[in-house]
Amino acid sequence: MSNAPKFSLSVQGNEQRDLLVLAFEAEEAISAPYEIVVDVVTERPPRELASLLHKQAYLSFGDQGLHGHIYSIAHVKTGRRLSHYQIVIVPFLRYLQHAKNSRIYQGLTVEETIRDVLKGHWLLKGLHVQFNIGPEKPIPRECCVQYQETDLHFLSRLCEEEGYFYYFEHSPDGHQLIFADQETEFYRKHTSPLMVPFIPINGMAAAHPVIQDFSVRVETRTSRVVHRDYDFEKAHFLLESVKDSEVFSNLEDNIYPGQFFKLPDGSVRVNRALERHRADFKLAEGQSDQPLLRSAMPFRMEAHSDPDWNATWVLRSVHHSGRAPHILEEYAEADSRLEPGRIAQGYRNTFTAIPEKVQFRPALKHPKPTVLGAQTAVVVGPENDETHCDQYGRIKIRFHWERNDSDTPPPTSRWVRVRGSFSGDGFGIVVLPRVGMEVVVDFMNGNPDDPIVIGCVPNNVNPTPYELPANKTKSVFRSRSSPDGTAGNELHLDDKSGDELIYLHAQRDMEQLVQNDLRIEVGNERLETIKGKSTTVIKGDEHRTVTQDRKVNLAAGDNLNVANNSHTRVGQVLVVEAGVEVHFTGGQNLVFDAGESFSMKAGGHHLLMNSAGIFTSTAILPGGVPIPGSPVNPLSPGAVNPLVAGHFDVSRQDLTTRATPLTASSRASASATPKACDLDNLFSD
């Protein structure tokens, strides 16, 4: 063929240039690492070729070529003078398929995340990576997790999710990796498309490179995209974005979660999702002998019988094939076993292409990994903050697979919601895991970007409150004073048969607020020990019934102040004894009423009154001075301190009283018997 290009392979450090190209196959496409398989012959022994592994190589065909790194070398066969080898050349990006990792990125754009991944590889030092992203401002991701993915899979997935594509530019000195998101990128280097005429295969060789075969197919694709998402900080706000194409709008792709929390961001995502679905709606396939064709390159076809196809197209993929059997012919006599006759000569390629007006978006070929089941993690927080949370009770955690063993939050740590058993508008149950605890983490829909804490588990550092299995019948809720506490509050239920117990311990203070009634029934004894003072304020009546004896021992004084009447009734004997003085004072009257007799005794004399008369031990004499006695000055009880503000926040609750008032009379007449407590019906409600 008059236009057949010459093939050559140059390798970094190989000054002898003794690797002669016999044949090659190269596959390149947008958003995919290319692969070049080159068959070479050389007089070198196999042990010398192994030193070329990972070296840079440039395969030249025509006026240009493809650059990469030697990924593998395989010995095919050896003749008397020549050895046949197969060399695989790939871009540096391909090496990332051997680097598997799990890590968290927070608050970064996809571009920033990709840059961080790439900078960790020694192979990229000195090599150029370019980002041509715009004009939309990139959307930072609140959380982006690489979970048990190779770096190549992770980068490819991010590009596919974001609608970015990448391709390569080649030179003898290296290759560049370029990320972009607009179709105008294809014209950045190629300001005008390459003109390639169409001449069908007719058995005659053309004088210049041509397209020899070309066909177009159209295929049904999704025509409507709906993205929905949910933001718990805007729980009543519908996050939905919709994008329709011009035809068959009922072919809908409804996606949840849509990975957006602002409607403008959702609009960008649905637009790109629809562009992805429609990217290959119209696809051209062809064959040519033009060695300048490269993926992501525009070309314009000429001279086709269908004028609609004589247009500008953008190459999605190109498969290059080259054969140079004349290399073997030079050594045919010595190395006949290499069979030169079976290899056809020349260069050709096959390709796929899309119309230039179509916005290319890569297909979703790299799915996000799914976390199968729950994991455990460790709660982390700032130094000296044992309970670290935000206004929603979210905490920060460190997974065991993160490469950070500190109890302080790593830079990649994010706020994680904590599941509760009950949560409503200002009411519910809140128990926050503390720094250092091991928590169980599940993932919403298996999404590693969306963890949720569902519980805690003990370990050797954080054992159970009571030793097990010795205390296996106890159900325990024990807290720990914070910060730097060694004890805390506790409620435990012991269900051991014969020793059933409910135990409540307050490490410091305890407050109770009952909006209506409090009823307590004790089947046997009630024992109370108060080591300080006891103050009770009853703003209504007090009714108390003791069916047997009452025994009260006051080690000091007794003060009783009755604002109205005081009635005491004793069924048999009332005995009052004072070591010094008994003083009765009546503001108007002082009445002693005895049914049979009245007796007074003082100073060796006595006075007796009964039905028979009044009797004295001596005559009653005029004069004398009355003893004033001690004044009446009972001490007032101490005030009850109000509940600490915030301990019982009733401002956010509807605490309308639901129970009916007690049926006992709220007042008792001065002469009435105190109302007996109905113990049998006390708990009937």
Q: Are residues 260 and 330 in the same domain?
A: no
Q: Are residues 453 and 494 in the same domain?
A: no
> pTM (2 decimals)?
0.79
Range of the domain at 235: 224-278
CB distance 674 to 668 below 8 Å: yes
Cα atoms in the Cβ-side hemisphere of radius 13 Å centred on 309: 19
Strand partners, 282: 218
Q: With both helix axes pointing from N to C terminus, report the angle between 151-162 and 110-119 in degrees, rounded to the nearest 10.
A: 160
Q: Are residues 66 and 13 in the same domain?
A: yes
Give every CB contact of residue 125 below 8 A, 6+ residues apart in sequence.
none
Strand partners, 337: none
Q: Are residues 413 and 433 in the same domain?
A: yes
Residue 13, pLDDT score:
79
What CATH number has the domain bearing residue 388? 2.40.50.230
CB distance 433 to 456 below 8 Å: yes
The helix (run of H) or strand (run of E) holding residue 502 is: strand 501-505
Residue 336, pLDDT score:
45
Q: Are residues 397 and 336 in the same domain?
A: no
Q: Going along 208-311, which residue ranges are E strands?
A: 211-218, 224-229, 239-244, 252-255, 282-288, 298-302
Residue where a domain terminates, one of 415, 436, 457:
457
In a domain, 674, yes or no: no
Does residue 546 sit in helix, strand or coil? coil
What CATH number has the domain bearing residue 62? 2.30.110.50
Give the total number of structural domains in the chain: 4
In a domain, 209, yes or no: no
In a domain, 228, yes or no: yes
Buried b (16+ CB within 10 A) or exposed e, 18-51: ebbbbbbebbbbbbbbbbbbbbbbbebeeeebee
Residue 122, pLDDT score:
65
Give me the residue label for tokens 């117990």.
501
**Cis, peptide link before residue 483, omega less than 30° from 0:** yes
Pairing, β 239-244 against β 395-399: unpaired
Q: Are residues 442 and 496 in the same domain?
A: no
Q: Are residues 228 and 271 in the same domain?
A: yes
Q: Are residues 385 and 450 in the same domain?
A: yes
Give me the residue label for tokens 């790593």.
410
**Cis, peptide link before residue 135, omega less than 30° from 0:** yes
Q: Are residues 393 and 441 in the same domain?
A: yes
Does residue 251 sit in helix, strand or coil? coil
Q: Are residues 69 and 19 in the same domain?
A: yes
d(CA 507, CA 503) in angstroms, rounded, equals 13
CA distances from 399 to 145, 208, 419, 441 (A): 12, 61, 18, 9
Q: Going along 603-651, which residue ranges are E strands?
A: 605-610, 613-616
At 177-210, the pLDDT tens digits run 999 998 888 887 777 899 999 988 776 667 789 9
Nearest CA among 205, 182, 187 for reference residue 3 = 205
In a domain, 342, yes or no: yes
Nearest CA among 106, 100, 99 for reference residue 398 = 106
The residues of the chain scoring below 70 in pLDDT are 1-5, 15-16, 46, 122-127, 203-205, 248-249, 325, 327-344, 404-412, 640, 642-685
